Amino acid sequence: MRYISTRGQAPALSFEEAMLSGLARDGGLYVPETVPVMSRDDIRALHGLSYEETAFRVMRPFVGDSFTDETFGDLIAKAYAGFGHGARAPLVQLAPGHFLLELFHGPTLAFKDFAMQLIGQLFEEALTRRGEHVTIVGATSGDTGSAAIEAFKGLDAVDVFILFPHGRVSEVQRRQMTTPGEANVHALAVDGHFDDCQARLKDMFNDFAFRDEVRLAGVNSINWARVLAQVVYYFSAAVSLGAPDRTVSFTVPTGNFGDIFAGYIAKKMGLPIDRLVIATNQNDILHRCLSSGAYRKGEVIPSISPSMDIQISSNFERALFDAYGRDGGAVAQLMEELKEGGFGVSQGALQALREHFESGRASEEETLATIARAHATMGELLCPHSAVGVKVADEHRTAATPMITLATAHPAKFPDAVEQASGIRPALPERMAGLFDREERVTRVANDLTALETLIRERLAK
Ligand SMILES: *Cc1c(COP(=O)(O)O)cnc(C)c1O
């Protein structure tokens, strides 16, 4: 199994190499050269298996000879052992024909744990075998950073630096990043927005001298291994509702397009998925693009679902690559136009996208109203991101096909919005007690590439 860049100018890599490098050197994202297909019998055979066993069977063909069967199985087991629910990704019924896939039972209470816990294990194994050390730098609007710190803290083969926008993450999110005491964890509060953090991260990757000097590695959702880990729960959920003998649809609260792209891969692998519905908040570039064909960035408007406050959806590039018939030159051209503000998707490509994806958006008021309604009528407390999904799902579901909405975070991660809507302040799970008592460790830093690189060099020298 080899991985190629969406911009067509970087060498093809193995699974392990693509995972360790993150972003391709031509600025593109890695995708598998071909997507392996599971037969209906293969899918039927997943019935009744544990989450871990399903994960092994779904991901195995993508990994090639980067890990042996035995090692890969062991690492999967370790990755999910710390989850607070035996099913890992339980499915609960919201209404006839509407289900909620709870992806918030991991250590940091958001779906990011599914991928991050696994790649923590895969990185440690691969780097120890190679005798190498890498510097992971990540940008976060909140959830990615805490999930990465939780997954990589205390590992010998990595230092992890997380850039988050100072004053713009929730207190729970901040404390999850600033309270781990391990020496290889570095939480950096940047004076700027999330988009500034992401831009500085990209600058670091494009500073090839620095990139090679510190052996920079990326774990943002553009890392293929993260997308792959997320493919698994589309299978486990669909199979538990009767796939392959029943077709299902999914609605996914979407920001960087990583999670829903995993659903698209599941569909390409043969999972019978009717529709993949993109749910956005008021930062609706993807919804506007699917509706009009124009992909044009605007200003980020802060919302109560901050993990989706994004104007450039990085993983959308992977969907465009397929929609343009895997023409890397065409994708590179679009990304050049994006630097100037945006681009128009060609008629053919737009049609190709609409064959798989639908879209909708939820305003702030609609999100709050959905939290209130879900609590009053179904007894379910939704986080604001999941509420965006439920609202859009209700507009798109049909009687013929069950709809599965992804619940991407635990309501206790966003207690203010949930309390405002429902009157109930959700409590953190037992296992996270103490978060508010632990000492915080964080470094404030300017929104400046040189300042950041200098700080990272100094820390690594210690
Ligand atoms: C990251 C995140 C999202 C968006 O996921 P993408 O893969 O970026 O589309 C949605 N909800 C929550 C809670 C998140 O943390």
CATH number at residue 338: 3.40.50.1100
List, for residues 438-452, the tens digit of each pLDDT value.
Answer: 999 999 999 999 999
Domain that holds residue 390: 91-106+224-422
Contact 359, 270 (CB under 8 A): no
* Distances in whole angstroms, Cα of residue 462 to Cα of each of 159, 214, 451: 11, 13, 17
In this structure, is residue 349 part of a structural domain?
yes
Confidence at residue 195, expressed as pLDDT on a 0 to 100 scale? 83
Distance between Cα 307 and ligand 1 center (Å): 5
The reply to whether 156 falls in a domain is no
Residue 117: band (very low, low, confident or very high) from pLDDT cuts 50, 70, 90: very high
In a domain, 291, yes or no: yes
Instruction: For residue range 69-82, list pLDDT tens digits in order.
Output: 999 999 999 999 99
Q: Residue 158: its pLDDT value, please?
A: 96
Indicate if the pLDDT at residue 400 is higher than 90.
yes
What pLDDT, on a 0 to 100 scale, did the predictor assign at position 194?
A: 86
Rg (CA), the chain: 21
| CA dist., res. 198 & res. 68, Å (int) | 34
Residue 407 falls within a domain, yes or no?
Answer: yes
pLDDT at 201: 93
189 in a structural domain: no
State which of 114, 308, 414 you would mutate to test the pocket of ligand 1, scoring each by most atoms of that ligand within 8 A of its C-beta. 308
Query: Could you tell me which residue, 290 or 27, shows the higher pLDDT?
Result: 290
Domain count, the chain: 1
Atom index in ligand 1 nearest the CA of residue 221 equals 7
Taking the centre of ligand 1 as the mean of its atom positions, its distance from the CA of residue 123, in whole angstroms, is 22
**Is 221 touching ligand 1 by the criterion CB < 6 Å?**
yes
Do 101 and 91 meet the contact criterion of CB atoms below 8 Å apart? Answer: yes
CA of 305 to the centre of ligand 1 (A): 9
Is there a domain that residue 82 lies in?
A: no
How far is it, in rounded angstroms, from Cα 382 to Cα 374?
7
Is 112 among the domain residues? no
Taking the CB of residue 444, how many other CB atoms lie within 10 A of it? 9
Catalytic positions: 112
Does the CB atom of residue 382 touch ligand 1 within 6 A?
Answer: no
User: Tell me: the pLDDT tens digits for 4-20?
Assistant: 999 999 999 999 999 99
**Ligand 1 within 6 A of CB of 307:** yes
Sorting pLDDT into bands at 50, 70 and 90, what band is 168? confident
**Is residue 28 scored above 80 in pLDDT?**
yes
Domain-located, residue 324: yes
Å from CA of 259 to ligand 1 middle: 7
pLDDT confidence of residue 298:
87
Residue 142 has pLDDT above 80, yes or no: no
Which of the four pLDDT bands, split at 50, 70 and 90, describes residue 245?
Answer: very high
